[in-house]
Structures are given as C-alpha cells and as structure tokens.
A and B are shown apart, each in its own frame.
Chain A
C-alpha cells in the first residue's frame, strides 16, 4: 500500500482521536466515579460549541479566548445540571436505565433548544484562514495541530491531576470502591461534584475542538458523536480514563483509515460497529487490569 495514501488518513485519524479523547475520558470518568451513563454528553458538547460561537461571533471575542472562557463555564454548567437535574432522580433511587433515559431526554431538550434559538442552519467560528502544514508525510492545517495540542495538553493535565494530587488519587479510589473510599474519610459528595466539573470542562474543550474540526456545525453536532465517544470509552474499558484515551486513539485512527476500504460516509458507522463488537466480545474493554470492585 502506498504510504503516501495512508499517511494523510492517519493524520486525520490522529486529529479525530484528539477530539474524541476529551469526550471519551469525560464520559468514562463520569461513569466510573458517579455511576451515571450520561447520554446528554454529546449535546453538552454542542451547547459548548454554540456558546463559544456566541462569544466569538456575536460578542466579537477572539476565538481561543472564547473557547477558554466557555470551557470553564461548562464546568459550572455541568455541576448545575448534575445537582439540579440528575441528583433529584438519584435521590429517588432511579435505576441506571431510568437515568439513561433521563439524560437522553435532557440531551434532546438541549439540542432542540439550540435549534429553536439558532435555527438549523450551520454556523462557523470567526477564525483566521487555516494554513497547511506538512508533518511526517501527513497534511495538517495549523488549526488541526492546535486541536491535537489541546488534546495532548488536556490529557497531560488530567494525568497529572489523577496521579499526583491527593484529590486525583481520591477520585481514582472512588472509581474503584466507594464504600472503602468513605471508610478512608473521602468526602464522596464533593468528589462527585468535582467529577461533574471536570466532565464539564472536557465537554467544553471537546465541543469546541469538534466544532472547529468540522468547520460548520449545526444543532445535531454532538448527537451521533456521542455514540462514537461511547465506542471509544467502552473499548478502553468504561470507567478507566487511561483506557478511554487508548480507545480514542484506536477508534479515531481505525475510522479514519477505514476510508481506504469503505465509502467515506460510513466512518461513523464503523465506529458504531466497533462498539457493538466490543459489547458482544469483550464488554470490559481492552484493559486487562483488575476490575472495579
């Protein structure tokens, strides 16, 4: 196979992986620590994209600053959403399935509210013209390189927090064994808030880079993307942030490379087929480590 044909797709796969990574890690962490399968996550990313658009285009702020501000804002939005809309159901001992339907419904509400406000036409950020960059035979735009950089920085920051801060280790402990964490004196409600906050940050950054990567976006931006995120998260072993990163890379690269053999339009379908196969063959994902207690 001609390398020159493969490399651009590989490059695109890496960009996709970077975009995926944030969503997959956020989704996975949320499930691992709070036990909630958040089907509104994709639409949260759409909300972030539109919010960034508002600040960028309508308020005329530089796009990168808009993104940073909105990312922070999404953190708080996420906590508010959890406290206001998820917690009441959890208090009523709603089962996992009920929570799935509820977050799904929430996602529908988000998506369609955006459509009511902005209409279904496509929007774009106000950003300078992209320049192409050649790197190792792969063709990138400078924006795509920024996306990859954002992805790497986010993952490194997360890694640092999870490994080297007391709070991060406590979150990983909760992900393993909640009663034991309580027995160590870890304040689980506060940790839950913090987890939602982080998930919100990741949704903010993830939504922004997703919108940036697709250039023109509409209200359904995050809808199908959610399932691709879930695919990466489950492939990596749901609840495992590092696994989700690996899953993102695999799904990103495989779907991008699939265009060599399949029609380009089927890329998303490839990701979903991966998801179904993983569920059937090895639902715990590729991580071989000890399971969640």
Chain B
C-alpha cells in the first residue's frame, strides 16, 4: 500500500471516529432526551481547546505573531483527555442550568443558537483568552515521544486509539439506550408530565443526559484536535452543529447505530466524496461551498422523504412473551388482582356499601386549607377535606369548581399558594415525582401516554426505583437490572391481561384508540403499586360498555385496599360506587357526605343549577 493511501485511510478513520463520538453524544442529548441544543458544537470546541491548553506550553511568541492564551500546562496526553471530558461535563451543565431548564423547544432552539453564536464571537474577538481568531496550534499528537515508531507508525496507533474510543463510546451509548435509564429519558422526551407522575426526576435525568453527551462531544473534539494539531473558531462556527443534526437525522436518531451510520455518511462521506472532485473553475472556495449546499439539500430531502432516518429508532420489544394467547376478549382463570370473574355484574349498592364498609375511619389523605390562584382567578380557596383509607371518594362539583386543580395540587403537579396536603401523617411535597414516590398514582382526563414507546414500555416506565435507572448501574450491571425487570414485566403482563390490552403490548402507544389509551392509563397507574390512586374524570369520553368495565375495575382496585379519589361528572357511577362524596363549588369545599345526602342537599342542587357564577 502506498504511503499516501495509508495516510488517507488513517485520516478517514480518525475523522470518522471523532465524528462518531460527537454524533453519539448528540444522540444522547437530542435523540434520547429530546433536548434541542443548537450550541452543541461549543461542547466539541470545549474539548478541543482544553486538550490544546493542556498539551501545549505556556503562551509565548510563535513565529511571526504574538500568541496569547490562558493555560498552557504541558501535561501528558491522557490527562488532557480527562480535562477535556471534565470540561465538556461542566459546560454542558452550565448550558442546562442556564437555558435548558427554563426554555421550551422553540425558544430553547433560538436561545442555544444565540449562545453558540455569542461564544463564537466573544472567543474570536478576545485575543487574550484563547488567542482570538487565530486560535491555538502546535498540539502534539499523543504517543509522540515513544521511541521506535515512525511518524506514520504513531498515526496508525492513534487511529487505533480513536477506534477504541468509538467502540467504548458505542458500548456505553448502547447500554444506556436499552436500559431503564434510557427508557426514562425517552419517556421524558415524549411526555414530561406523565414521566414525573411515574416518579422520574425530569430535571435530574435531563441533566445527566446533557452531561454524558457533553463528555462525548468534548472527547470527540479533543481527539480531533490532537490529530489536526490546531484549533480556531472557524472550525466550530454555528453551522457545524447543523452538520451534527444532519448526521443524526440522516442516520436515524434514538439509536446508537443510526448515530454511527450518520457520522459515517454525513461528515465523513461528504468530505470524502467531494475530495476527489477536480477543482471547479478558478475559484478555490467553490468546493467547500458546494459541500454545504449539498448538506443543506440532503437535510431538507431527508426531513421530507424520510424524517425518521435510515436506521430509525427500533421498537423496543421487551424480551418477554405474552403469557396467554392474546385474544383481547376472553378471560383466563386466576386473575391476580382479585377482580370478580367476568360476566357477573357488580351490584351497584353492594359496590358502594362494601367499599364504604371496608373503609377504615382513619384518613389516608388530608387536604388542609389549600388555596391556589391563577392570575387574579381563585381556582381553589381554603379547601379542606379528608380521604379515608380504603374508600372510593368522589370529588364532584359544577364547572369551574376547582376539582382538577385540586387533583393537580395533590399530585404535586401544581404548587398551591397556601395550605398543605398530608399523606399518612407526612406532608406531601409539591413535586410530582416525589409525590409519585410516596405511592400516589394518577390518571389524566385526556390520556397522557408515551406515544413513541410501546404499550409494554409504557407500563415499564411506571415502577418506582428500578434497578438500572442510574447511569452506572445501567452501564455496568445489565444482568442485574434485567433480572430485576423480570418481576416487573410479569406484573405488567398481568395488568395488561386484566384490562384486555395485552394483545397490544408491542404496539406504539400512539396507535391505540382513545378507549384503549384510557385502559393503558389505568394499567400504568396500577403498575406503580400505588396506595392512593387519583382518577381525573375516568369516564370522560368513554362509551357505555367501556364505562361499566372501568367501573368494575375501580371497585376491584378498592377491594384490594387501594384508596381511590376520583373527580367525576357522571352521577351514575358516583352514586353506585363512591362513598363519601366531596362537593366543591367555586374553589371551596361546599359539603361532604354520602351520595344520597348530597343529592338532597339544597345547597348542592343550587350550586349545580347556578353553574359557576361568581359573587
């Protein structure tokens, strides 16, 4: 092989390797966690600059000009890598805390775009910091001093090193993706509110994804700069981030292989495909410009024809198979939840009476003097009531009474202006994920599923404190979390069978009908083994057949000892299974009692007929 060819292959390999690391990092931030970070290339630059500062000597006159920069520590190459990685983590944290926490998608995109441009301009214009537009040079390649290696030889070793990094990175990325940690990230990407209701600490998980992505980016940048030998702002201008996004969009986001493929096709493929084109005309700038035109067109083409990429995020078929032949209609023998066998209607009076009789008199949940106002409107005013352990308590009231707000406050999704909510003697914090960890489950009025996760995965987001949700366990202990997952998977299948949707286990949740989504919502809330279940208008938009089925399920749930608090409009079900009934009107708790008492209560009737007028 000629020396030129070898050199070329080495260059390609290094180029691919570095870009692979960068694209994998972006996949963690954007593909998995759904964060739009248009300042991504700043993280790459961080790694590049840090490795340069670590490796070169202190600032001094170099050749024709004065070179000024901070740092210059002349450290060994492997320490430089640690510093670069650490720097990537730090900058990623800063970006997250300053911008990602506060802004939603469109504004986040603009904000990060601006931040990236600010960094570019300020670093370029400030010559004393990182030597301005000229940048740093003279970055030696690692393994420089090892005797016996020709220059070509140690390039080959470096290329091998880069590939080793890629393999390691792919291993980490893959492990993270398939683990419960990755699943939690995807859940957050799909639906933050529901993820929080399932006990996921959204902010913390996002930060972790950003940090890991930042480390990947910085390492990719570090290795690249060590190969090229210099870094200047022109190399990391704003459009470079778009190349990264293009790579992910072309290759396929949400999975490690798509990221690798994208890195091979876009930064590498484009560079190489155009390298051998003869210079067109007399203009040396044409080729790079054409390259950008091609990337722009490629991006637009893919977004139009194949937005999911060449290797789209694969449906995660959790490895267990259904336990019965899914028919979606029949019942099997032993149902573990204690529901009465299908076919026997639960007598309405018996339902309410048994639930009421079974209810102990002690309160599981106590709402005390809770108030909440939105803008000038008082949604909830000094509301207090209790929910007895084991009961099915209804929360009813005319439109605008504040019932949904009340439920949101109990669930920790809405922060009250005053008052407290006490569960089992201890106050509930006003954070949805922490409330979930106190074994409070909830459903939403309009089903809030995770659309790009399968039904079974939706269920598997719900268990609290799963092994493999932490970064280290997900990477290093796959056997442990797989084993732990088995028990939860069994439970998930049981619940899916109970609600007759097990035949849909490997369907994307987005493809379910409205009624099926409602059932999934129930099942998912139960998977978390709640002690208190909050139901927000469970019968809303549900056909009569499904409604009676849901009613039976709710009674069965209560018979198992789970306390239920439900907001409902439909008086039929309230009358049949709920006791007591709490009535709210205009933000206050009007009264409380059995359904029959409520019905005859003049104040209640007036409130309903008077419908939401303010005094």
Contact = CB atoms under 8 A, between A and B. Distances in A.
Is B one of A's binding partners?
yes
Interface of A: 37, 85, 88-89, 92, 94, 96-98, 100-102, 104-109, 111-113, 115-116, 119-120, 219, 224, 227, 230-231, 234, 263, 265-266, 268-269, 272-273, 275-276, 279-280, 283
Given A230-B110, A266-B122, 4 more contacts: A105-B242, A120-B285, A234-B110, A279-B110
Contact of A112 (B245, B289, B299, B307): B289
Nearest to A88: B304
A112 B296 CA distance: 10
B375 to A, nearest CB: 12
A151 to B, nearest CB: 24
Interface stretch (B96-104, B213-221, B499-507): B96-104
A97 B304 contact: no
Contacts of B296: 105-109, 112
A267 to B, nearest CB: 9
B293 A113 contact: yes
Nearest to B111: A279
Name the 3 nearest CB pairs between A and B, nearest first: A109-B296, A115-B289, A112-B292
Interface string B354-374: 000000000000000000000
B285 A119 contact: yes
Nearest to B101: A280
A279 B103 contact: yes
A101 B115 contact: no
B539 to A, nearest CB: 29
- Specify the main secondary structure of chain B where it touches its partner: helix
With a 10 A CB-CB cut-off, give which of A37, A88, A115 has the most chain B CB atoms.
A115
B303 A94 contact: yes
A106 B295 CA distance: 10
B297 interface: yes
Contacts, number: 121
B293 A116 contact: yes
A226 B296 CA distance: 18
A89 B122 CA distance: 36
A88 B300 CA distance: 11
Contacts of B283: 116, 119
A221 to B, nearest CB: 15
Interface of B: 36, 98-99, 102-103, 105-107, 109-111, 113-115, 117-118, 121-122, 125, 239, 242, 245-246, 249, 283, 285-286, 289-290, 292-293, 295-297, 299-300, 303-304, 307
B236 to A, nearest CB: 15
Given A112-B292, A113-B293, A280-B102, A231 B114 contact: yes
Contacts of A102: 299-300, 303
Contacts of A98: 303, 307
B106 A101 contact: no
A122 to B, nearest CB: 13
Nearest to B295: A108
Contact of B303 (A37, A101, A268, A276): A101
Given A119-B285, A275-B110, A280-B102, A108 B304 contact: no
Contact of B107 (A92, A273, A279): A279
B109 A269 contact: no
A266 B121 contact: yes
Nearest to A37: B106
25 contacts: A89-B304, A94-B303, A102-B303, A105-B297, A105-B303, A108-B242, A108-B293, A108-B295, A112-B293, A115-B285, A116-B285, A116-B289, A116-B293, A120-B285, A224-B121, A234-B110, A266-B122, A269-B117, A269-B122, A272-B114, A272-B115, A276-B111, A279-B110, A280-B98, A280-B102
B527 to A, nearest CB: 30
A272 B118 CA distance: 6
B490 to A, nearest CB: 38
A94 B303 CA distance: 9
Contacts of A231: 114
A268 B121 CA distance: 8
Contacts of B122: 266, 269
With a 10 A CB-CB cut-off, give which of B111, B249, B307 has the most chain A CB atoms.
B111
With a 10 A CB-CB cut-off, give which of A92, A112, A231, A266 has the most chain B CB atoms.
A112
Contacts of A97: 36, 105-106, 109
Contacts of A268: 117, 121
B292 A108 contact: yes
A269 B304 contact: no
With a 10 A CB-CB cut-off, give which of A88, A104, A105, A266 has the most chain B CB atoms.
A105
Nearest to B249: A101
Contacts of A269: 117-118, 121-122, 125
A100 B303 contact: no
Contacts of B115: 272, 276
A273 B120 CA distance: 12
Nearest to B112: A276
B290 A116 contact: yes
B103 A283 contact: yes
A288 B300 CA distance: 38
Nearest to B108: A279
B239 A108 contact: yes
A280 B115 CA distance: 12
Contacts of B105: 96-97
Contact of A227 (B36, B99, B114): B114
Contacts of B239: 108
Nearest to B239: A108
